[in-house]
Structure 1
Amino acid sequence: MAATTPTTASTHRAPADNVPAYRTDLDGLRGIAIALVACFHVWFGRVSGGVDVFLVLSGYFFVGSLLRHAIHSQATHVTLRDTINPWPRLKRLLRRLIPALFTVLIAVAVLTVVVIPQTRWVSIGRELIASALYYQNWHLAFNSQDYLAASSANSPLQHIWSMSVQGQFFVLTLVVALAFAALIKLVARFIAPVADPRAIRLLVGLAVLAVALVSFYWAHMRMGVNQQFNYYDTFSRLWEPLAGGLLAIWLPSWRVPRWLRTVTAVVALALIVTCGWWIDGVNAYPGPWALVPVGSTLLIIWAGATALERPRAGTPAPQGLPPVNRMLASRWPVWLGTIAYALYLWHWPLLIFYLTWREKNHANFIEGVGLLALSVGLAWLTKRYIEDPLRGGRAEPAHARRDGRRQWVTYTSVVTSVLVIGTLVTGIGIKVWDHRVATMVVDTKNLDPRTYPGARALLEGWPVPAVDPQPSPLMVTQDFPETSTDGYMSDFEDPRIHVGVYGDPTATRTIALIGGSHAEMWISALDLLGQRNHFKVTTYLKMGCPMSTELVPKQDGVPYPECHDWVMRVVDKVIADDPDAVFTNATRPRDYQPGDWVPPTYPPIFDEFIASGIEVFGIRDTPWPHNAQGLIDTPTCLADGGSATSCATRRAVALAPENPADELAATRPMFHALDLSDGVCDAEICPAVVGNIVVYKDWHHLSATYVRSLTDELGRQMAATAPWTAPPGP
């Protein structure tokens, strides 16, 4: 949400020079909106609709201001240069938005180092840069982060997405408006006068209406395509501030009874306050359901504006405001509205850092009250000592020199210097840390198995010496399978089939490793087995794309049609390449109940290979770490002080008692069911660390180091069903 010009008045002030009366009731509406946003984040884990109120108000004020500039610029004394010069308005925007934002970003950087495990520093550092440069919404969109209930795993900067949307809207609208004003100025100079305000309003209004309608259609259409992306998409959100802009351009001047305005304002405010409970904002906004908070905001603006028609210069506005607008213009809502920008910036990171520090996913009532009180206090301090001085809202302390010379050391200069230096230090620190992590090389191929037995500790009872596990929680995040580092894994947008060759490239026998990332992670073991037992391993891999006949597969709930096309092409190519066997996943976790299963879309793929004379190694998927609180990011859990058991998963919850793929093997002689669950879990739990090796590199992929410790058991099971994969005889 954008900052606004502060005011201490509780009544409307009359306009001058065609500037509308100042709407303190809209300051109050902003205060109600920020209260809803903060309370819903802290206690209810839902989207309140308050952000949509902010967007509409921003559009109403900003577009109205630019329209007045476009009309005023037609006066003969305004030069073309002054008409198109963006700096005065851009400077005001920067003064309003940057100081508080950078203050919070510096605080987030410091608290991240103090509270957040190192495994998350890179992602938060990148979000700090995205937030500072106003593209955080795109960063989140492309990373598909859900903006749901707060938990210790959320980013402390997710909420900045709306600031980025508004910043992009301000700059884009400013450039377009100044270009339009310049065009009118040129037309008036060289062709014909175009100074009629009604004509200008009509042209601007039609243009804004057209863009808003296209944006609304886009937002509605994209809901069924990729709602996670759609939620953050600037173009999908554009219709909301433009709706406010349309009201600023074409505010109806109908004379209506006071009772009708009163009923309208009451209903509108009630909808704003309650819509967070009966609309699932994350899955519904910014589609048609967003018309509820957007339309309600427009109605409140209209209800108050109709009572302010034609006030006389120098006199107070008429007192015919509906009761709701009078309530919004009262002291406390207006005061809350004046700190709304800073409060919006502070409340979310404080909540996330507190939950992380307390290792909780929810704040109780008392904790929530304390967090909100602290947020309000910091917001007031930020406004009083950061925002106001740097935007010129509060006079400098009087330290004028008697000789009349300019005083360089002032309160404003000191605060500005601190912010600039703090921002530079933060930015440099982020880049240094990002480079350090990016250049980390995990070299664990030659670990001594007597010190780091890994899976051998579970499978064969090897002793486990007391040493620190490898790779470290920070390093394990970079422990990728060979195909990832070699570039043989197609990403989500890449339709190509990249074939890698591993094992013994000169061998006459071949195993094709096919599927998604949960098939890919076994290359570290298959490569070793191929070298030992003299078979070649070819790879056909794509992110998030298991071998399935599903027509519209989904990735994190988002339709992923590229996957189906890729799978069909891979099946044809593998059959044409004619390997001796394929190796792929045969099971996956159930979505809404314990255990794992063979999805019915998997066996048709297996049968197609078998019909072509190709054996199938179907490996059981490993457990996806989770507990009663949700998914577990193993490296972060360990870095945050967790242990092998506290970061573990219960086996009975993650896995069925028997391998679900055994039924396929019983009816298909050329299908070989492989199950390495006993190398990842004991009878009760699936630990985060086994045999001094960290098991998972992220939320659900095995580390390459741990996969290598499973090589012998994988080779034993393969040889038991397909003897040609065993070591050659003497």
Structure 2
Amino acid sequence: MAAGGGTPTAPGPRASDQRSLGTTFAYPGLLYPRVTDARPPTPAAPVDTGPAPAVPVADTPDSPDQPAGPDRTAGPDRPDRTAGPDRPDRPDGLDTADGSAGRLRKFRPDIEGLRAVAVVLVVLGHSGLALPGGFVGVDVFFVISGFLITRQLITERSARGRISLAGFYARRARRIVPAATVVIVATMLGAWRWVSPLRIHSTGVDAALSAVSAINMRLAQAGTDYLRAEGPPSPFQHFWSLAVEEQFYAVWPLLLVVTAALVGPARRRSTGPVAVLLLVVVAASLTLSAVLTPRSAPWAYFGSHTRAWELALGALVALGAPRLGRLRPALSAQLTWLGLAGILVAACVFGEDTLYPGLVAVLPVAGSALVIAGGCAAPRRGAELLLRRRPCQLVGRVSYSWYLWHWPVLVLWPLASGEPLRTGEKIAAIALSLVLAVLTYHLVENPIRRRPVLARRPALGLGLGLASSGVAVVVALLVVQAAALPTGGPTATTSLAAAVGASVGPGPVSAVSPDGPAGPGADPAVTGAVTVRSAALTRLIEQSLDLGDLPGGLRPSLEQAPNDYRSNRCYTSITSGTPTDCVYGDPRGRRTVVLFGDSHANQWFNAMNEVSRRNGWRLVPYTKGGCPPADYPNFVLETLKRVYTECNTWRADVLGRIRALSPDLVVIGSEARTEAMRVGPGGMTKVVRDLRSTGAKVVLIEDTPYPGFDVPDCLARNPTNVRRCIVRVAGAKLTEPQRAIEIRGAAAGGAMLVDPVPWLCTKNECPPIIGDTIVYYDKSHITGTYSTALASYLGPALVRLAG
């Protein structure tokens, strides 16, 4: 939820993943009814006092939910004729503590223009065209929504003496759900056509959760699952902000009703108790955001508990609107320009490196509040001079629909074309989404909101919302059922098990030559590794490069492949700093072996478990997502967008436990991280020496080749041309400097090296399927099934090295 540009690739909880098209997590916010606001009285129009007339606010044709056209816009050059003593049929808005009320503007052109600013920031940020901090548009929408909804609720209480919960939820339903349903259904149909069959189930779940305003929970959870953080982006990710708002408004009207009941009739018209409640929400939620952002960025970004303060601040502005309407024009004008400047500065300065939301979110949130607060006085020289311009008004009017459409178009376009979005295509995608937004506004959003029968009968509005959400869920389920994974052709002629069986035994152990898989000119440290070569496996790898059609009988199946990594129960998540002790292999074995490292060590768990069982070893795995075994001070995990303190804590704890174990052998594995280029080989050397000081022998399994794309997804997309999913050795990160640095550091510390590349590749290419087995479960980790098969090669290498 930082930002960045690019085209849709694999997702992750990174802030960059959350804020731009090139990553997993996208966001803007929406949900904004049109309601009245206070305006300062003129000398000719004295302030009204006393209770407001009991007018049915929500059910009149001019209710707050109804849009006002340009001809009804009040401003410096157009007198406001919608409220005041001469128009007693308009509700007078909020009662202040002393019972006075300000005059109202029926329509706020500055807020309409602010919506335009927010949606443009979001669209530009998500497309990657400009403004990497455009994700702050979501904060602008949250404040607007908090202001308008609270004004609507308190105005209704003032006019009627009570709040109709049925009426409120009915207005929300007819305002939000129909347009969202159209987009969800259309996007699911597009996904049926263009999204990989392997991802259609996940996409359908996202669609259903979007329809019931729960998608933010799923995104937060996905953002903390390091092993699944690299999937392609969902076309429904942007619904998270709508889910946050709906969750807030499921509770907020109830709190107002309960507060009114608790304070009693004497103080029911006072806004004081509500203000106290909002101040508590702001303080608590902002504190949670500040504390949680550096600890668990996905939950801080997508959680309604860490975003509630933004809506509550908008609500506080609503409570103070009558008094704000009496500010001096010069001061109120300055506030609006200052607020707008704060929003734009945040959009320009924030980016993918910003730890967000946290305290830095105060800048765009406070800026939005200042624009709205200053606008209560309708200053003639305020930011409204810019925001009320016709382009801003037109874009603001369709901003909700544009927000709904922009992300699905940006995600599905490259899937349909088969190519990443270039600048011209991004502009075209944005234009297409705007056209769809205008059509949706005029054909769906506005007609349904203006339907008199729905306004008069809340039950119909609620029924419409429930039925629309139900339609979206049903369509999602039907598409999931209709989308079938490719079954493959005839079963592979040679199974991996047969090739492995032909080479079971000690086998020859030989050094990799300088012109081996690492390529000519590789670092000398690389060439000191050992590997077990098998003629049968080598032939099978070469044969597998000639696969045309997807073979049948795959292990694991395409459907199972993305989850073929969950065998190790003690794998530690990125949010935990405490290791768990587990024993695998032969629990009664006389020799103890430790597997230690990050997810690229954990990919060898299945092989190590099998090797340990065969050799009577006791296996103790210590692996943690994104946590390299090397000592890299101030290591920043991109997923969390901060120093990975949990890794430092976990590593120190694990090293202490390994010393207590006094193992015979420690096998380490690690992703070749760019951090090695900053620290140098010393980070790996230090840890290897610490491990060897326990009396254990240390072996580093060098990193496996990187496909750089999701392999099962590629296979599902290309069932008749498997060769499109072949990994080129030259582009598989085998010759990048960080790999050589880590290997050099391990060797300098006294570690022995195992090179796994000959078990996956020929000299130039790595097939995605070897025999009947899928090799990778994502874009960089080998499947548990293939890892198990490699026990027949890893085992002899470890026996040879460990003695």
Q: Is TM-score (shorter-chain normalized) higher than 0.5?
A: yes
Aligned counterpart, 1:139: 218
1:155 to 234, 249, 257: 234
1:232 to 288, 302, 307: 302
RMSD of aligned C-alpha atoms?
4.2
Cα deviation for residue 29 of structure 1 reads: 2.5
Aligned counterpart, 1:312: none
Query: Any conservation in 1 of the 2:174–2:461 contact (CA below 8 Å)?
Result: no
2:430 to 372, 375, 378: 372
Runs of 4+ in 1 over 6 A off after TM superposition: 410-419, 431-437, 450-455
Q: Which deviations, in whole Å up to 9, do the C-alpha atoms of 1:100-159 show, x marking residues without a partner? A: 11221122222222111123223323322332222222322222289xxxx993221221
* Residues 271 and 178 of structure 1, relative CA distance in 2, 3 Å threshold: same
Comparing 165-174 and 4-13, the one that deviates more: 4-13
Q: Which amino acid aligns with 1:676?
A: P
Q: Which deviations, in whole Å up to 9, do the C-alpha atoms of 1:219-248 show, x marking residues without a partner? A: 334443333432223233222222221211
Distance 1:458 1:554 in 2: 43
Cα deviation for residue 697 of structure 1 reads: 0.8
Query: Any conservation in 1 of the 2:629–2:668 contact (CA below 8 Å)?
Result: yes
Aligned counterpart, 1:386: 444
Query: Any conservation in 1 of the 2:681–2:745 contact (CA below 8 Å)?
Result: no
Aligned counterpart, 1:306: 377
Aligned counterpart, 1:698: 778
Q: Which amino acid aligns with 1:344?
A: Y
Aligned counterpart, 1:33: 118
2:288 to 199, 218, 223: 218
Query: Any conservation in 1 of the 2:133–2:349 contact (CA below 8 Å)?
Result: no
Q: Please tell me whether residue 720 in structure 1 is matched to residue 800 in structure 2.
A: yes
Q: Which amino acid aligns with 1:638?
A: L
1:591 to 651, 674, 678: 674
Alignment of 1:319-330 (within 5 A): 321-322=380-381, 324-325=383-384, 327-330=386-389
* Residues 386 and 575 of structure 1, relative CA distance in 2, 3 Å threshold: same
Query: Any conservation in 2 of the 1:386–1:415 contact (CA below 8 Å)?
Result: no
Q: Please tell me whether residue 46 in structure 1 is matched to residue 132 in structure 2.
A: yes
Query: Any conservation in 1 of the 2:496–2:771 contact (CA below 8 Å)?
Result: no
Distance 1:599 1:430 in 2: 49
Q: Which amino acid aligns with 2:714?
A: C
Q: Which deviations, in whole Å up to 9, do the C-alpha atoms of 1:407-435 show, x marking residues without a partner? A: xxx99999996764453242466599899
Q: Which deviations, in whole Å up to 9, do the C-alpha atoms of 1:330-376 show, x marking residues without a partner? A: 544333322221111011111110022223443423x2343233222
Cα deviation for residue 622 of structure 1 reads: 1.7
Q: Which deviations, in whole Å up to 9, do the C-alpha atoms of 1:245-265 show, x marking residues without a partner? A: 121111344766656655554
2:275 to 205, 212, 216: 205
Aligned counterpart, 1:316: none
Q: Which amino acid aligns with 2:82?
A: A
Alignment of 1:48-87 (within 5 A): 48=134, 49-72=136-159, 75=161, 83=162, 86-87=165-166
Aligned counterpart, 2:498: 448
Q: Which deviations, in whole Å up to 9, do the C-alpha atoms of 1:8-32 show, x marking residues without a partner? A: 2432352323133222402232233
Distance 1:664 1:220 in 2: 38
Q: Which deviations, in whole Å up to 9, do the C-alpha atoms of 1:157-200 show, x marking residues without a partner? A: 2211211121122222111111112223xx23xxxx335x4xx2
User: Which secondary structure state, in structure 1, belongs to the residue aligned with residue 580 of structure 2?
Assistant: coil
User: Which secondary structure state, in structure 1, belongs to the residue aligned with residue 699 of structure 2?
Assistant: strand
Query: Any conservation in 2 of the 1:135–1:164 contact (CA below 8 Å)?
Result: yes
Distance 1:64 1:305 in 2: 12
1:17 to 91, 109, 119: 91
Distance 1:452 1:378 in 2: 60
Q: How high is the TM-score relative to the length of structure 2?
A: 0.71
2:197 to 94, 118, 122: 118
Q: Please tell me whether residue 580 in structure 1 is matched to residue 650 in structure 2.
A: no
Q: Which amino acid aligns with 2:361?
A: A
Cα deviation for residue 666 of structure 1 reads: 5.8
Q: Which deviations, in whole Å up to 9, do the C-alpha atoms of 1:478-502 show, x marking residues without a partner? A: 5635xx3363434456746242322
Q: Which amino acid aligns with 1:348?
A: W
* Residues 123 and 553 of structure 1, relative CA distance in 2, 3 Å threshold: farther
Unaligned runs of 5+ in 2: 1-29, 34-64, 75-80, 84-89, 94-103, 455-459, 488-493, 504-531
Alignment of 1:124-523 (within 5 A): 124-144=203-223, 153-184=232-263, 187-188=264-265, 193-194=266-267, 197=269, 200-251=270-321, 252-253=323-324, 258=329, 261-262=332-333, 264-266=335-337, 268-269=339-340, 271-273=342-344, 275-280=346-351, 283=354, 285-307=356-378, 321-322=380-381, 324-325=383-384, 327-365=386-424, 367-393=425-451, 420-427=470-477, 430=480, 447-449=497-499, 460-462=538-540, 464=543, 467=547, 468=550, 470-471=554-555, 474-475=558-559, 477-478=561-562, 480-481=564-565, 484-485=566-567, 487-492=569-574, 495=578, 497-502=580-585, 507-523=589-605
Q: Percent identity?
A: 24
Cα deviation for residue 647 of structure 1 reads: 5.3
* Residues 458 and 690 of structure 1, relative CA distance in 2, 3 Å threshold: farther
Cα deviation for residue 436 of structure 1 reads: 14
Q: Which amino acid aligns with 2:561?
A: T
Comparing 96-105 and 216-225, the one that deviates more: 216-225
Query: Any conservation in 1 of the 2:121–2:131 contact (CA below 8 Å)?
Result: no
Distance 1:381 1:667 in 2: 66
Distance 2:362 2:418 in 1: 37
Q: Please tell me whether residue 640 in structure 1 is matched to residue 690 in structure 2.
A: no
Distance 2:656 2:783 in 1: 31
* Residues 597 and 474 of structure 1, relative CA distance in 2, 3 Å threshold: farther
Aligned counterpart, 1:441: none
Q: Which deviations, in whole Å up to 9, do the C-alpha atoms of 1:628-654 show, x marking residues without a partner? A: xxxx22222333337556552544761
Q: Which amino acid aligns with 1:298?
A: A
Distance 1:285 1:527 in 2: 40
Q: Which deviations, in whole Å up to 9, do the C-alpha atoms of 1:274-331 show, x marking residues without a partner? A: 6422332772543444344333333333443213xxxxxxxxxxxx644742553454
Distance 1:667 1:301 in 2: 62
Comparing 31-40 and 153-162, the one that deviates more: 31-40
Distance 1:650 1:159 in 2: 36
Unaligned runs of 5+ in 1: 76-82, 308-319, 397-409, 438-443, 627-631, 724-730
Q: Which deviations, in whole Å up to 9, do the C-alpha atoms of 1:10-66 show, x marking residues without a partner? A: 323523231332224022322332233223323227232322221111111112222
Q: Which amino acid aligns with 1:290?
A: A
Distance 2:563 2:231 in 1: 24
* Residues 569 and 263 of structure 1, relative CA distance in 2, 3 Å threshold: closer
Distance 1:690 1:121 in 2: 26
Distance 2:233 2:245 in 1: 22
Cα deviation for residue 386 of structure 1 reads: 2.5
Q: How high is the TM-score relative to the length of structure 1?
A: 0.78
Q: Which amino acid aligns with 1:347?
A: H
Aligned counterpart, 2:68: 7
Comparing 13-22 and 50-59, the one that deviates more: 13-22
Cα deviation for residue 507 of structure 1 reads: 4.9
- Number of matched pairs: 659
Aligned counterpart, 2:524: none
Distance 1:693 1:368 in 2: 38
Q: Which amino acid aligns with 1:39?
A: L
Comparing 609-618 and 421-430, the one that deviates more: 421-430
* Residues 455 and 265 of structure 1, relative CA distance in 2, 3 Å threshold: farther
Q: Which amino acid aligns with 1:679?
A: W
* Residues 59 and 436 of structure 1, relative CA distance in 2, 3 Å threshold: farther
Alignment of 1:657-672 (within 5 A): 663=744, 671-672=751-752
